[in-house]
């Protein structure tokens, strides 16, 4: 077994890198793959919280690099989904505690044991990003439909291209189809026009993301929301399956407020 | 090509003027056996184009031990230097009277030395840099920057946050959204051409201009931007518009 190593990155903070990593990792594990989600955000770790595994973290990957523990001791197995693991980051250290060579060494140690290694990258373009990206072969770039996020994504894509990462694929997160319809939000095609990379999925804005984050249960474990389905589709596409993009416009017309707005404005769509 | 033609032309078996290729251009060694009239005829016969060297280079005339007359010098200046527009770097001679005449006329009578040659080569390199064209076969993304003395062609888009600073002109085949500065060292004979103009700011020569959707009818059109009378002028490409849509359709 030689894992595919994929970094989830964005440039801008708060666009949903960690949420995407957790949900895609859980979805891939549900498809029977052995997956490890590595929290590469040293000093600001969150992946353990979003995956609901924070109480079980004893060691972290810096301990593995510094040989304080063995890899098997640092890996946290998710008991809810077979094949899903977390390798946490150190919360009490800074991003200088690791360098790209050490990160590559860490990933090489994980590769034979897993089908997928997902690296959750910190925001920014400095050392933390470079460390996380160094170990990866492929990249998922997460952006929200906002101009600053798209510009930062463009910056990151340029850096990933210069580092030779391929393929680099795009996740558009927190899209609000009704705002796009009203012309108040960048549409999928506007974003693709600027970024010129392959789209792997569009995740609609969904309040269940907040619930699942606070509950520590990735949405793809229960699949009871549009965002969960979107992440599941992304995981399927990562596995090479041909899955059509979700019809987000139907979600735009489902909500109570949308119906109310339609009633008053007389808009059909 | 021109220089080799020149060398071939002058160096006929029956010609006695011997041209030598040097780092500073060409050195003509003129034998004393030629009469002044024969010498002038030989030079006049050479077509003007054959004297063309890179603009930093020139010609050195070596008259050996010939006692040059004022008439010869005047004819050389009239018929060759001024008439054909060639650059003479030095007038050499081993004859004291000739040297005196050259110096009295203010002509340089010392062969270009290593220092002069290095200046010539340096100037040549600078000119080549300025006249060079850099072609990039992909879009430039946010944070990416190109800085060059010459011209730039981007066969893609210039995304927001990307930047090009060029001593010469800039062509963006796709969308121009990032920042461009053509003629960055003050040249005003440069241009910016964009397949689709969407940038809020263009710098050309020493001018900075702002634009947006409301300030110009050329927004999202194919445009040429130049400096005319020290003012930026933007022109829309209208000659490629077809019936089905705009210039880019």
- A251 pLDDT higher than 70: no
- B114 pLDDT higher than 50: yes
Q: How confident is the model at residue B42 (pLDDT cuts 50, 70, 90)?
A: confident
Distance from CA of A244 to the nearest CA of B (A): 28
Interface of B with A in 125-144 (CB under 8 A): 139-144
Q: Which of B136, B141, B178 to mutate to test the interface with A (most CBs of A within 10 A)?
A: B141
Its ipTM equals 0.72
CB spacing of B160 vs A151 below 8 angstroms: yes
- A258 pLDDT higher than 70: no
Distance from CA of B172 to the nearest CA of A (A): 15
CB spacing of A125 vs B143 below 8 angstroms: yes
Question: The dihedral of CA B69, B75, B80, B81: what is its sign?
Answer: positive
Q: What is the mean pLDDT of residues B170-194?
A: 95
pLDDT in tens, B194-215: 999 999 999 999 999 898 888 8
pLDDT in tens, A9-58: 998 999 999 999 999 999 999 999 999 999 999 999 999 999 999 999 99
Distance from CA of A187 to the nearest CA of B (A): 17
Number of CB atoms found within 10 A of residue A39's CB: 31
Distance of alpha carbon A130 from alpha carbon B79, whole angstroms:
68
- Give ranges for CATH 2.160.20.70 in chain B: 131-236
- Residue B161 touches partner A, C-beta closer than 8 Å: yes
CB spacing of B159 vs A154 below 8 angstroms: yes
Q: How far, CA to CA in Å, does B131 sit from each of B24, B54, B147, B194?
A: 20, 13, 14, 20
Could you tell me if B184 and B149 are in contact, meaning their C-beta atoms sit under 8 angstroms apart?
A: no
For the domain B2-127, what is the CATH code?
3.30.750
pLDDT of B13 reads 47
Residue A36: burial class (beta carbons within 10 Å; 0-12, 13-18, 19+): buried
Residue of A155, A161, A196 lying closest to B142 (CB–CB): A155
Q: Which of B159, B163, B199 to mutate to test the interface with A (most CBs of A within 10 A)?
A: B159
Q: How far, CA to CA in Å, does A172 sit from each of A142, A196, A250, B43?
A: 6, 13, 17, 74
pLDDT of A150 reads 95
Q: How confident is the model at residue B56 (pLDDT cuts 50, 70, 90)?
A: confident
- Residue B185 touches partner A, C-beta closer than 8 Å: no
- A104 pLDDT higher than 90: yes
Give the 3-state secondary structure of chain B: CHHHHHHHHHCCCCCCCEEEEECCEEEEECCCCCCHHHHHHHHHHCCHHHHCCCCCCEEEEECCCCCCCHHHHHHHHHHHHHHHCCCEEEEECCCHHHHHHHHHCCCCCCCCCHHHHHHHHHHHHHHHHHCCEEEECCCECCCCEEEECCEEEECCCECCCCEEEECCCEEEEEEECCEEEECCCCCCCCEEEEEEECCCEEEECCEEEECCCCCCCCCCCCEEEEEECCEEEEEECCCCCECCECCCC
The average confidence (pLDDT) of chain B is 86
Sheet holding A168-175, edge to edge: A76-77, A84-87, A35-39, A116-120, A4-9, A138-143, A168-175, A198-204
Q: How confident is the model at residue B3 (pLDDT cuts 50, 70, 90)?
A: low
CB spacing of A159 vs B142 below 8 angstroms: no
Domain ranges within chain A, ordered by starting residue: 4-265
- B247 pLDDT higher than 50: no
Distance from CA of A85 to the nearest CA of B (A): 35
Q: Which of B52-56, B74-78, B213-217 has the highest mean pLDDT?
A: B74-78
- Residue B145 touches partner A, C-beta closer than 8 Å: no
Q: What is the mean pLDDT of residues A248-265?
A: 56
- Residue B18 touches partner A, C-beta closer than 8 Å: no
Could you tell me if A168 and A197 are in contact, meaning their C-beta atoms sit under 8 angstroms apart?
A: yes
- A263 pLDDT higher than 80: no
Distance from CA of A224 to the nearest CA of B (A): 37
Number of CB atoms found within 10 A of residue B173's CB: 19
- A260 pLDDT higher than 80: no
Q: What is the mean pLDDT of residues B94-105?
A: 93
* CB neighbour burial string for B114-130, b if at least 16 within 10 angstroms, e if fewer: eebeeebeeeeeeeeee
Nearest residue in chain B measured CA to CA from A161: B141
Beta carbon pairs, A and B, within 8 Å = 31
pLDDT of B23 reads 87
* CB neighbour burial string for A78-108, b if at least 16 within 10 angstroms, e if fewer: beebebbbbbbbbbebebebbeeebbeebbe
- A268 pLDDT higher than 80: no
- Give ranges for CATH 3.30.750 in chain B: 2-127
Lowest mean pLDDT among A78-82, A160-164, B12-16, B17-21: B12-16
pLDDT of B227 reads 94
Percentage of chain A beyond pLDDT 70 is 92
Structure tokens at A173: 């997160």
pLDDT of B245 reads 45
Could you tell me if B10 and B19 are in contact, meaning their C-beta atoms sit under 8 angstroms apart?
A: yes
Is the whole model's pTM more than 0.90, yes or no?
A: no
- B4 pLDDT higher than 80: no
CB spacing of A155 vs B141 below 8 angstroms: yes
- A84 pLDDT higher than 70: yes
Nearest residue in chain A measured CA to CA from B157: A194
Q: Phi, psi at residue B92, to the nearest 5°?
A: -105, 150
pLDDT in tens, A198-241: 999 999 999 989 988 888 999 988 877 899 999 999 999 999 99
Report DSSP state, residue A7: E
- Residue B248 touches partner A, C-beta closer than 8 Å: no
Give the right CATH number for A4-265 from 3.40.50.300, 3.30.300.20, 3.30.70.360, 3.10.50.40: 3.40.50.300
For the domain B131-236, what is the CATH code?
2.160.20.70
Residue of B143, B157, B177 lying closest to A158 (CB–CB): B143
- Stronger pLDDT, B202 or B3, i.e. the higher one: B202
Beta strands A35-39; A84-87: pairing state: parallel
Structure tokens at A32: 């029977």
């Amino acid at each position: 077994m030689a894992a595919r190593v994929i970094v989830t990155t964005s440039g801008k903070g708060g666009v949903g890198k960690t949420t995407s990593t957790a949900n895609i990792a859980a979805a891939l594990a549900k498809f029977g793959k052995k997956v490890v989600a590595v929290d590469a955000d040293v000093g600001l770790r969150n992946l353990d919280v979003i995956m609901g595994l924070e109480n079980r973290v004893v060691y972290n990957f810096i301990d593995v690099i510094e040989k304080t523990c063995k890899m098997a001791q640092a890996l946290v197995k998710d008991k809810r989904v077979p094949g899903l693991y977390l390798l946490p980051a150190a919360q009490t250290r800074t991003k200088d505690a690791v360098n790209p060579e050490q990160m590559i060494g860490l990933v090489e140690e994980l590769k034979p044991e897993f089908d997928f290694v997902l690296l959750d990258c910190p925001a920014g373009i400095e050392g933390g990003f470079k460390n996380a990206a160094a170990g990866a072969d492929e990249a998922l770039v997460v952006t929200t439909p906002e101009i600053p996020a798209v510009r930062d994504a463009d910056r990151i894509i340029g850096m990933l291209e210069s580092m030779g990462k391929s393929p680099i694929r795009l996740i558009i997160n927190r899209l609000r189809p009704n705002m796009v319809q009203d012309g108040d939000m960048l549409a999928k095609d506007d974003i693709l026009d600027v970024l010129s990379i392959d789209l792997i999925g569009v995740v609609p804005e969904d309040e269940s993301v907040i619930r699942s984050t606070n509950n520590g249960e990735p949405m793809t474990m229960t699949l009871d929301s549009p965002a969960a389905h979107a992440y599941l589709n992304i995981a399927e596409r990562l596995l090479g399956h041909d899955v059509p993009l979700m019809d987000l416009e139907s979600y735009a017309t489902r909500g109570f407020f949308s119906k109310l707005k339609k009633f008053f404005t007389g808009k059909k769509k | 090509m021109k220089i080799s033609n020149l060398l071939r032309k002058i160096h006929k078996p029956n010609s006695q003027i011997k041209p030598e290729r040097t780092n500073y251009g060409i050195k003509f060694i003129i034998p004393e056996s030629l009469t002044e009239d024969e010498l002038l005829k030989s030079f006049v016969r050479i077509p003007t184009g054959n004297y063309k060297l890179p603009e930093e280079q020139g010609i050195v005339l070596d008259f050996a031990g010939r006692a040059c007359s004022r008439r010869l010098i005047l004819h050389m200046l009239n018929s060759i230097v001024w008439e054909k527009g060639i650059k003479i770097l030095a007038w050499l001679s081993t004859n004291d009277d000739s040297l005196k005449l050259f110096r009295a006329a203010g002509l340089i009578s010392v062969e270009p030395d290593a220092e002069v040659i290095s200046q010539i080569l340096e100037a040549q390199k600078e000119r080549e840099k300025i006249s060079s064209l850099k072609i990039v076969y992909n879009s430039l993304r946010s944070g990416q920057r190109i800085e060059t003395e010459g011209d730039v062609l981007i066969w893609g888009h210039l995304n927001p946050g990307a930047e090009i600073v060029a001593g010469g002109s800039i062509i963006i085949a796709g969308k121009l959204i990032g920042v461009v500065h053509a003629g960055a060292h003050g040249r005003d004979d440069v241009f910016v051409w964009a397949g689709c103009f969407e940038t809020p700011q263009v710098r050309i020569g020493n001018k900075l201009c702002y634009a947006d959707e409301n300030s110009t009818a050329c927004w999202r059109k194919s445009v040429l931007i130049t400096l005319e009378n020290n003012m930026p002028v933007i022109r829309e490409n209208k000659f490629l518009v077809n019936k089905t849509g705009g210039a880019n359709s």
